[in-house]
Amino acid sequence: MDFFLRLLRQVLDYLAIVYGNFFHPTKRGLIPPITNPILLLTATQISQRVKEGKLKAKQVVEAYFKRIEEINPLTNSVIEIRKEAFEDAIAIDERVDKELNQGIIGEDGRSIKDFPLLGVPFTCKDSVSIEGMHLVSGLPERKNIIALEDAPVIVNLRNSGAIPMALCNVPELLMWWDAHNPVFGRTNNPYDLSRIPGGSGGGDAATLASAASVVSVGSDIGGSVRIPAFHCGIFAHKTSAGVISSKGKYPPMLPEKESLFAFGPITRYASDLIPMLKAMAGDGIAKLSKIDEPVDISKLRVFYMEGDNNPMTTPLSPDMRDSLKSVVNHLEEQYKIKCTKISFDKFNYTLSMFKASLAESGSVPLTIEMTNRKYALNPFWELIKWVFGFSAHSLAVIMVAIVEKTTPPLETPIVQGNLAVRELLKKEFKEKIGDDGILLYPTFPEPATKHGTTLLKFSNVNYTSIFNVLGVPSTACPMGLNSEGLPLGLQVVANPYNDHYTIAVAHEIEKTFGGWVPPCTVAC
């Protein structure tokens, strides 16, 4: 059976290559050059210059709005601009002028120094509530829905001085690792417009990689910040569970599901991961009590894996393997660490454990979510309608609904058995990695695939969803570009609440291997 499954995997991968190359020819080098140096500043640099009066927040917002106008016809990554961002920026500039020139502190008693992200504009995926903006989540039945209030994560960011700037595209109901839906269409990868940007936060990742944003709000239940960050060559962090409030997201997140789910920052630069994480979390950052502690990388125990042995996942590509080995070699040479290659055999059952964990959460069925909770549709009939061009839904969400519909009930022995395997794996992972260890692991088995081929590679999401199953923090790090100009990368993983380890190693990787590489020329 293993032989036949691997053969099937090879056939599907071959079909993906043929289909992708025939229907989606390569489109590289089309993103306009970066001409404004403001677009190359980190979020912390922007904030510091705004506080010092060396840069106006309005200038920053204008620069990013102009950049969105330049790249969005190509990437289709931004679905809505928040025009009120100009008013927010002007108010910040007035406040800075009063404090610097007149010594007048704001009416709330806070100095401009008390705002860690003062004047930093940010983007957000179209699934998080921002007052006055759409909250569609790519669902046709919600195309006219406007959010009435800010989600707690947005409130926290505003309290840090950051400015909501734009909403970015997602797959329908966030249910796929692409960013394509019937309402706003398809988002393109800026490194090659014929390829996917990853998902569900693909709109944010494509916008960041194109230098049309510097930081974004992401959420992750199976890889939704790490997969797009990998595909677009930037950083993202899946936070330990429960650090950032999950309220204000659509579809709503049940408390039972929070062990799988985490909000997290998507950033162009590693230096912005912790400031963005702290701003998003607000008081919840207290759960990461060591987040500001310096990390001595030489004292970490380092483990690595080259993927699982599941016959239905695409084999790890040579350039992805080389990226992983490059980090291993660097840590061994620079810090005299003995990196240990290990294996978790239970990783092969990721999909079964993930589906069992979703069943355990008691979520509203996808067949009901697809109608905006009005009634339950029949996903099999919806598939027939799609074949003949009469369905209002995307093929991906229909297929996920069918998988959900055919998953055995929670109380059945097979589901309970998968939950038992999950608990054994959690214990094994915790004991092997320990409180002083990290795991280096591929984010994905291959660089960005062509549009329209992801359903042929459905199991590849196992590379990220395994860490949602385990409920552990993971940071996606870029590792430059391959010979085709496509981003490479890996994940750094640790045990719960050791987020500071994974982010510290992300800093080291950026310093050593260069981090984000623009998909265009830099002419400034």
221 known ligand binder: yes
Q: Check residue 454 and report its DSSP letter.
A: G
198 known ligand binder: no
For this structure, is 326 an active site residue? no
202 known ligand binder: no
Cα dihedral angle (366, 367, 369, 373), rounded to 10 degrees? -150
Q: Check residue 185 and report its DSSP letter.
A: E
For this structure, is 200 an active site residue? yes
Does an H or E element contain 156, and which? helix 152-159
Which one of 56, 125, 278, 450 is the catalytic residue? 125
Q: How far apart are alpha carbons 415 and 105 in whole angstroms? A: 58
Q: Quote the crossing angle between the two packed helices 413-433 and 350-361, to the nearest 10°.
A: 110
Question: For residue 299, what are the CA distances in angstroms to 21, 302, 331, 338, 512?
Answer: 47, 9, 11, 11, 19
Which one of 224, 240, 357, 361 is the catalytic residue? 224
Q: Which two tokens stand for residue 489?
A: 């990368």
Q: What is the 3-state secondary structure (H, E, C) of 262-296?
A: EEEEEECCHHHHHHHHHHHHHHHHHHCCCCCCCCC
Tokens 């049309």 sit at which residue?
Answer: 212
**DSSP β-ladder status, 121-125 and 163-168:** parallel
174 known ligand binder: yes
Which one of 77, 137, 200, 219 is the catalytic residue? 200
Q: Check residue 331 and report its DSSP letter.
A: H
259 known ligand binder: no
Other C-beta atoms lying within 10 Å of the C-beta of residue 303 = 21
Q: How far apart are alpha carbons 96 and 21 in whole angstroms? A: 53
For this structure, is 47 an active site residue? no
Q: Do residues 437 and 339 make contact, with C-beta atoms less than 8 angstroms apart?
A: no
User: Residue positions in the annotated binding site for substrate?
Assistant: 174, 200, 221-224
User: Residue positions in the annotated binding site?
Assistant: 174, 200, 221-224
**Residues acting as catalytic residues:** 125, 200, 224
